Amino acid sequence: MTTQRYERLYEKIDASLKDRSASDALLRCMKRGRDTRAAALETLPGGTAFRNDVRKAKERCIEDLPRLKKQFIENVEKRGAKVFEAKTPADVIKYCIDLAKERGATHLAKSKSLTTEEIELNRPLMDAGIDVVETDLGELIIQLVNEKPFHLVFPSVHKMAPEVAKIFEKATGKPVEGNIPSIMKVVRKYLRPIFLNAEIGMTGANIGIAETGAICIETNEGNARNVSSIGKCHICVMGMEKIVETIEDAMLMILAHPVSASGQLPTTYVTWMHGRNPLGEGDGKNARESHIIILDNGRTEMRDDPDYRESLYCIRCGACMNVCPTSGIVGGHTFGHIYPGPMGICWTAAVHGLETAGNFAPLCISCGLCKEICPAIIDMPHMIAEIKHRDAKKHGYPLPNKVMMGADKAARLGSVTAAVANFSLNTRAIRKLMDKTIGLSADRNVPPFTYPTFMQRFKDHRLKVVAPQRKVAFFVDVYANYNDPDLGMAAVRQLEALDCEVVLPPQDASGYPFIAYGDLDRARKTAAGNVAKLFPYANQGYDIVSIEPTATYSLAESYPHLLKNNNASRRVADHTHELFEYLNKLEEDTGNAPMSRSLKGRKFGFHIPCHQRALGSGHGAIEWLRRRGAEVEVIETGTCCGMGGTFGLKAGLLGHKLSMAVGDALFDLFKAAEIDAIVTESSVCKIQLAEGTGLEVFHPLQLL
């Protein structure tokens, strides 16, 4: 990434950090989205099980897309609508302008369509003399001020009522009171003639059904109903990935989309159009028409590219935006081009170019949360890593990212030269220099290095189990090895106390920073190396137990992905366990319940590191602490603490500063909670929470 590119991004981040009013509104919106989703899932039979169904349906329909598209087109035409397959944005623009000219139409009412935004359709239509009006309230506000959507579902969430009132004052030329009921009356009145007089109604489609040739349009406001029923000519612009096979598939999407976005099932209105209805009697059969434009614009290439294909599973629910930590602070104008948020990186890369996506992809801190909330379980974190990787091939990696990717080597050196290294880390002047030169934030309290390392100490460790019941291959990762060998040894003792034979297989650090910063060549190499080293153990019946959540996530989730689910990586993943979930199980199996309730009377606030959400969400550690008498409360905002692995260790806007802004809301919760201390299993979250809250932060093992 060139310096210039970085500077532009810095400026934008800086501006959002200085004026938090927009991001405060956005954060409220995101939280609402997450909360309502969670509440809806409580009442939905099967809970989150629908995600697997959506995933399967999308996999099947995209795999079969050429056939389904053909079937869809045949059925649409049978029902009397016309189909136009558009390769490029220019094709759509030309088709619409020609059609409007032929019909002598100059008034076009539009309901929300991200696909038309993708190709920036409004401007050229207006330049051709067509009066285009967005009728979804949020989109209309955005159109009137000539902005791009701030959020996928709530495009104008950053505009407060008084500002909106001003916008409509300008549009109507009449005074508008700055409260929502008054604004609504004005909007209804303003838009009514636009609906009634539209010659062309333009909609998107959330779904196309191959089986029946129907398109489904979802709205809450009902504007798409007006738009699709009044104008003589209806145009629907849809991405070709919206085609599903059956009515059942459509019903599934109609549920999954709003449940994920806003906890509704379904949106207030869903319009299933088959062909075009007449309006009233006596106009003759052909008076009204419907044109369905199926857009490619790079989708065929996406489908053919195994690294991009999953993007086509996106149903545009916006849930990933509701959870993405950095997008929540900087907003969709910075974290996005036209498509905002996590899916915005993927879709931008595919339809607006790698270069454009690369401009904001560094904002992704690879927390993995978007995948965990996505109804189609799209692996955005890895797709984004791929995008960063492709981008870096052209532009290289910025120095701070290189430093973080070399953290393992640095730690090795730091440990050997512990005294010197720690002196440097504790010396303000040297830290300032490091901040400036290599981008390690001077304001971070980084843990000191120790010598000997865990690995060296383990060599001298004699097995203390007489009749081992289980065999454990221990995976240690950077922190417990170089910074806190005591912690590693404590874990080993716990395992041994429960009759495990613990061995330390040869291993490298998990290498997650390679994924986070998009060096997939080295990520793959590390993954292959570790899998090769661990596979023989998995094969010999060893359970692999890891102490660091990100390392467990790497072994269980990332490596199989990086290694294309090969047999060895699957096997290693299947044998990988989180430490506490494993200890609990052993306690149950051996009947070896903890002897003392030594933590009785103590109350801890528990922090779930993001990567743990894909695993057991900390249930293992929480249960383990409770068995020892502790009172444990999970304290969470539903998103990240801001550290994002090593992201928050970096200096400046694209590091420490943004990281602290992300963490703010969580810090407040911890500070307000009545707890003795914070507990988390992640070594980096620990640094973040200690700095952000001023409270003590422990690893569960440190409490004994």
Partner 1 sequence: MNAEIKFDFAECFEKLSGVAHAVPSEKAAVDEIISIITSKEAKCVALANLPKKLVTAIEKRCDGIKVLKEPYAAETLPAAIDEADVGITGIAFAIAQSGTLVETTTNDAVRLVSALTPTYIGVLRKADIVNRFEDGSARIREIVKEHDENLVISFISGPSRTGDIELKLTLGVHGPGEAHAVIIGK
Give the integer Cα–Cα distance in Å for 440 and 437. Answer: 8
**342 part of the interface to ligand SF4, by CB under 6 A:** yes
- Nearest-5° Cα angle at 699, 698 to 700: 105
In the window 310-329, what residues touch ligand SF4 (CB under 6 A)?
314-320, 323-327
Exactly one of 66, 129, 175, 278 binds partner 1 (CB under 8 A); which one?
Answer: 278
Number of residues that bind partner 1 (CB under 8 A): 71
In the window 157-216, what residues touch partner 1 (CB under 8 A)?
157, 159-161, 164, 180-181, 183-184, 187-188, 191-192, 195-196, 212, 214
**151 part of the interface to ligand SF4, by CB under 6 A:** no
268's contact among partner 1, ligand SF4, none, with CB below 5 to 8 A by partner kind, is partner 1
Helix axes 418-426, 428-437, angle to 10 degrees: 90
SS3 112: coil
**103 part of the interface to partner 1, by CB under 8 A:** no
380's contact among ligand SF4, partner 1, none, with CB below 5 to 8 A by partner kind, is ligand SF4
Give one DSSP letter per residue of 550-566, joined into a string. HHHHIIIIIHHHHTTT-
Q: Mark 541-574 as b/e (b = at least 16 C-beta within 10 Å).
A: ebbbbbbbbbbbbbbbbbbbbbbeeeebbebbbe
Q: Mark 300-318 as b/e (b = at least 16 C-beta within 10 Å).
A: eebbeeebbbbbbbbbbbb
Exactly one of 5, 82, 275, 627 binds partner 1 (CB under 8 A); which one?
Answer: 275
Closest separation between CB of residue 81 and partner 1, Å?
8
β-strand pairing of 243-244 with 207-209 = parallel
**365 part of the interface to ligand SF4, by CB under 6 A:** yes
Cα 234 to Cα 149, 476, 596: the distances in Å are: 24, 61, 73
By the 8 A CB rule, do 378 and 313 touch? yes
Give the integer Cα–Cα distance in Å for 472 and 465. Answer: 12
Exactly one of 56, 60, 103, 274 binds partner 1 (CB under 8 A); which one?
Answer: 274
Binding mask 373-392 for ligand SF4 (x = CB under 6 A): xxxx-x-xx--x--------
287's contact among ligand SF4, partner 1, none, with CB below 5 to 8 A by partner kind, is partner 1
Nearest to 218 by CA among 153, 297, 144: 153
Order the strands of the 131-134 sheet from edge to edge.
82-86, 289-295, 233-239, 200-203, 107-110, 131-134
SS3 666: helix
Closest separation between CB of residue 270 and partner 1, Å?
4
Closest separation between CB of residue 610 and ligand SF4, Å?
7
Closest separation between CB of residue 597 and partner 1, Å?
37
652 φψ region: left (φ > 0), alpha (ψ -120 to 50), beta (else): left
Give the integer Cα–Cα distance in Å for 138 and 453. Answer: 57
320's contact among ligand SF4, partner 1, none, with CB below 5 to 8 A by partner kind, is ligand SF4
**252 part of the interface to ligand SF4, by CB under 6 A:** no
**38 part of the interface to partner 1, by CB under 8 A:** no
Q: Which is nearer to partner 1, 157 or 684 (CB)?
A: 157
Exactly one of 11, 35, 120, 283 binds partner 1 (CB under 8 A); which one?
Answer: 283
- Give the side-chain half-sphere CA count within 13 A for 94: 8
In the window 569-588, what residues touch partner 1 (CB under 8 A)?
none
430's contact among ligand SF4, partner 1, none, with CB below 5 to 8 A by partner kind, is none
In the window 219-248, what residues touch partner 1 (CB under 8 A)?
220-223, 225-226, 229-230, 247-248
**Contacting positions for ligand SF4 (CB under 6 A):** 260, 314-320, 323-327, 342-343, 364-370, 373-376, 378, 380-381, 384
